[in-house]
Amino acid sequence: MTILVTGGAGYIGSHACLELLKAGYDVAVADNLSNSKEESLQRVQELAGRSLIFHRTDLLDRPGLDAIFSAHAIHTVIHFAGLKAVGESVAFPLRYYHNNITGTLMLCEAMQAHAVKNIIFSSSATVSGDPERVPIREDAKLGPPNPYGRSKLMLEEILR
């Protein structure tokens, strides 16, 4: 079973890849390396004693996504890819909305075209804004104060 990890070269994504490889899954990674380095994936493979397949692809590249789905029998997508700096999202809100929302929509379109129905989405605690209490519960009020958080909340709704 092949798992596609978007943003797999990033901090959380690379740790997920390591655990997936150790659990016996085949792993394909799609990452444009805008917030990460390919060396992290080399280290993951060394630690796991197994290989993964890396595709340097941006989620805004629909033909690139289709090529990945055509090359592998993807069962599930774990979606970590996206811009993630709160301050930068305030300075460049359109960039964040375009990248995070449009990229995820393109990913979903590619999944649909290739009959992949399973996705695990990495959201963010920032969707709750300033929480009333911690730990933040699933039923906490939502109200992200920045474009990054709002993009994550919009994607939660779209995926719902």
User: What burial letters (b/e) apply to 32-68, b meaning 16+ CB within 10 Å?
Assistant: beebbeeebbeebbeebebebebbebbbebeebbeeb
46 Cβ contact list (under 8 Å, min separation 6): none
Is position 148 annotated as part of the catalytic site?
yes
Residue 23: DSSP 8-state: T
d(CA 133, CA 6): 31
- Count the Cβ atoms, other than its own, within 10 Å of residue 137: 10
The active-site residue out of 11, 25, 96, 148 is: 148
Catalytic residues: 148
